[in-house]
Structure 1
Amino acid sequence: MEKDAMAPRRQQTVVMYPSFGVGHIIPMTELARVLLRRGLDVTMVLIERPFWPSDSGAATTRRVMAANPAITFHVLPPDPSPPDFAGSTKPPFFHTLQLLRRYNGELGRFLRSFPRRRLHSVVTGMFSTYAAEVAAELGVPAYTFFASGAGFLAVVAQLPALLAGRQEGLKVLGDAPLEFLGVPPIPASHMVKELLEHPEEDMCNAMVDALKRVADTDGVLVNTFESLESRAVQALRDPRCVPGKAMPPIYCIGPVVGDGSPHREMPPERRHELLAWLDAQPERSVVYLCFGSRGTLPAEQLREIAVGLERSGHRFLWVVRTPAGTDDPKKFLEQRPEPDLEALLPAGFLERTGGRGLVVPSWAPQAAVLRHLSTGAFVTHCGWNSVLEAVAAGVPMLCWPLYSEQMLNKVLMTDLDMGVAWEMEGYAAGRVGAEEVEAKVRLVMDSEEGRELRARVAARREDAMAALEDGGTSQEALARFLADVDKLRGQLGD
């Protein structure tokens, strides 16, 4: 046997190629840490979007790079012919997908800089699957890291068959339920909005094309654990899921979440104030409200939340971001200043609730907050990273989805199969009233139904911990992935 074939894993490199956005880069960074502990080197390849200004997302990426010196980060050269984003009528995400496809040449040049035997595998993000074509040309195993759950993946896998031959977009169906194998009925209105367009529209077509390519990789690493989404996982392994084509192997390796260490700097005095405040609260007494790295609410909605929280009488920790103030998607990428809390919230609110509430501008170390013993419930936008962080911490959720696949996640979270959350009514119409905020906070914190919900989530937390232990389902799935890569590399002549 040749000497290189006996080399330790530390001389083998996994090249990770995440999709754009904090919600994709951070979980892939957590996966990188997992692979480092397994003795592999990890290089993460990033692209700087020419139409992404110096905003919070780009700044967070730089902080992630600085906080993970064990990971090698490589930024590909700028696109020599970037699109005219400012003059385009197409959504930013359309340009993102086109940019990822155009970068295959640069990615291929970078991969060829590695000695062939050193390349362990290429792991793409759920929207950067174009890279699998480059890996196939080089004879390198290519896998997808699906940062959302198995339920969304099951829907994605079955979506092309649903759209095939349709003369109208799904939007015309309104709230009519869509039936997919492995998940509860999904109201058509709860699908990702880009997928509601006519199937031949550029945005819908581009997104479906990118997601279809997930099934063309050698396997899919899913950020979930089997017992949390058992029906969906079984569906993905069912021949009926994608008629005429078998899904590649599915590896449920989650929950891959942060350990509470910050990915973002926070002024030391503010972080100390936040954690000291949590330390002073009774166990499971605090309602935590946060709507993700991109989630913003109108000023009128913020005032409704404030009134509802005040009336509830419960302790709360609330992360408030400056309202976007516009529906223009181009503005979605802009840096927003810290909010003026006095101006946004009802007069006297901060003073009246100061003894039992803390309002934090812009950002909080979420994993640390959720793992704190004083946190008793979580009002969330239903981003999958947030869902897993809450499940891993055993914190029940109140669902307030805003965009992307979050409404679909809400359906899964509130279904009894998962059973980790309740719905905040009114979000679909664009207004959750103060009375609903008050009622749902009281329900989750005070009622017998709330105690039952907490018990279910506590059981899910135990399941998550068991999945990650030696011999647990997620550890076994990770071991299968590594063994399958070794086998595939042998078949490819490595």
Structure 2
Amino acid sequence: MEEAVVLYPTPPIGHLRAMVELGKAILSHQPWLSIHVLIATPPYQADATAPYIAAVSNSVPSITFHRLPEIILPPSSNVANHEELTFEVLRLSNPHVHDALVSISKKYKIQALVMDFFISVGFQVAKELNIRPYYFNTCAAGTLACFFYLPTLGKQTTKSFKDMEGFVHVPGVPPIPAKDMMKPLLDRAKKAYECFSECSIAMSRSAGVITNTFEALEPKVIKAIGNGLCVPDGPTPPIYCIGPLIASADKKNGLAQCLTWLDLQPSKSVVFLCFGSLGLFSKEQLGEIALGLERSGQRFLWVVRNNPSGNLGVAIKEQEEMKIALPMVESENGFVNADEVEKRVRDLMESKQGKVVREKITAMKGAAKAALSEGGSSGVELAKLVESWKH
């Protein structure tokens, strides 16, 4: 019987793309495998990923997509945010996941079910069908450490992070101001906190966790996870650092024009801003970012999401991409003004501290290439992952 690996991402396009790139990487090591991708269909923008899925189906015949029946939320559903909505869609999709796996297993021997780290509910389905459950963490290893350690943090206090002063300490991770923890985790009374806690437990009991990072980028936290410090009450599953996963360039939708302009600019002179497929800002916040960029006098390339609903949404507190290099000062509701944007962009591009950051980025670029090269750390980890399916 032909062998297969089933991948199950969450609905947003960013998670789907990352999971597909994982599938391509797996095929590079085991080209005879069949990759099957389960697509949960939410009650919003159900066809948003259709063009991408069609393009992958045409270019990579070994990857087959299975769209699960669309989920209709019952009138009694009371979801407060996007994370809770995603968890509810995944919960209601669970019977369809079971049926899809049973159907696939009639023609293929399923070596593993690799799920997005959101999908705690899929763990039991895999166990019931005697399929090895793996999780794919699309974020950094530091984020994975926080998720693993979440149940331990919950036992240390009865307070929510939003009500705490001081710092949160996670093994291998620099101290995090409690109020800067990920927004869905700030209030332990909310459903999202409960769901992420369940995800942490499911991941710790899985056959392994695949993460989109590489050893040279986060050596301290990867070592802490590997030594079991983030799951002190039980065994830590194997961690496979196989990143960075890089999608091939899509020359459509104006990208070719952007790249042509970028190639004409001096080397290392352009600030790039991208807040992900779910990064929505208020009209006022967009205006402040734009004004700050213009005032900085720096060249910039900014990916701005066009919200089909016409409603730009609310300001997002976790300005994580902007905080990577230099810290941002924001108001209590997460609003960042133009002066702050201008100052931080100038600091990054003109100051001595910014120069150090840019030099580190250049070094990590080289380390990433080395990790993906022949005999590099990520290739070795991917080979270990594939080998684990044979036992």
TM-score with structure 1 setting the length: 0.71
Count of matched residue pairs: 382
> How many angstroms apart in 1 are the aligned matches of 2:256 and 2:386?
41
Which string of whole-angstrom CA distances, capped at 9 and with x for unpartnered residues, describes residues 81-135 of structure 1? 63227x7354343243233233332222221222476212111110113222222
Q: Indicate conservation of the 8 Å contact 2:79/2:85, yes or no.
A: no
**Pairing 1:47–2:20 present:** no
1:187 maps to 177
Which string of whole-angstrom CA distances, capped at 9 and with x for unpartnered residues, describes residues 279-325 of structure 1? 33222222223332222333333333333333322222333446xxx
**Pairing 1:292–2:276 present:** yes
1:460 maps to 364
Q: Indicate conservation of the 8 Å contact 2:83/2:184, yes or no.
A: no
SS at match of 1:181: coil
2:194 maps to 205
> How many angstroms apart in 2 are the aligned matches of 1:308 and 1:117?
55
Deviation at 1:482, TM superposition (A): 0.8
**Pairing 1:138–2:111 present:** no
**Pairing 1:485–2:389 present:** yes
Question: Which residue among 196, 199, 212 is the counterpart of 2:186?
Answer: 196
Residue ranges of structure 1 left out of the alignment (5+ in a row): 5-10, 323-333, 340-400, 414-420, 488-494
1:255 maps to 244
Which string of whole-angstrom CA distances, capped at 9 and with x for unpartnered residues, describes residues 192-217 of structure 1? 22222235x43321221123211121
Q: Indicate conservation of the 8 Å contact 2:40/2:89, yes or no.
A: no
**Pairing 1:154–2:58 present:** no
2:223 maps to 234
Question: Which residue among 51, 60, 73 is the counterpart of 1:82?
Answer: 73
Deviation at 1:153, TM superposition (A): 0.9
Q: Indicate conservation of the 8 Å contact 1:289/1:317, yes or no.
A: yes
> How many angstroms apart in 2 are the aligned matches of 1:276 and 1:117?
45
Change (3 A) 1:212 1:116: farther
Q: Indicate conservation of the 8 Å contact 2:210/2:242, yes or no.
A: yes
**Pairing 1:309–2:300 present:** no
SS at match of 1:284: coil
Aligned AA for 2:375?
G
Aligned AA for 1:335?
P
Change (3 A) 1:441 1:162: closer
TM-score with structure 2 setting the length: 0.88
> How many angstroms apart in 1 are the aligned matches of 2:89 and 2:16?
17
Change (3 A) 1:481 1:428: farther
Change (3 A) 1:296 1:224: same
Q: Indicate conservation of the 8 Å contact 2:136/2:211, yes or no.
A: yes
SS at match of 1:205: helix
SS at match of 2:112: strand
**Pairing 1:18–2:9 present:** yes
Aligned AA for 1:136?
K
1:73 maps to 65
Q: Indicate conservation of the 8 Å contact 2:242/2:379, yes or no.
A: yes
Change (3 A) 1:205 1:128: same
2:352 maps to 448
1:354 maps to none
- Percent identity reads 35
1:217 maps to 206
Q: Indicate conservation of the 8 Å contact 1:124/1:144, yes or no.
A: yes
> How many angstroms apart in 2 are the aligned matches of 1:278 and 1:455?
20
For the aligned residues, what is the CA RMSD?
Answer: 2.7
> How many angstroms apart in 1 are the aligned matches of 2:36 and 2:389?
17
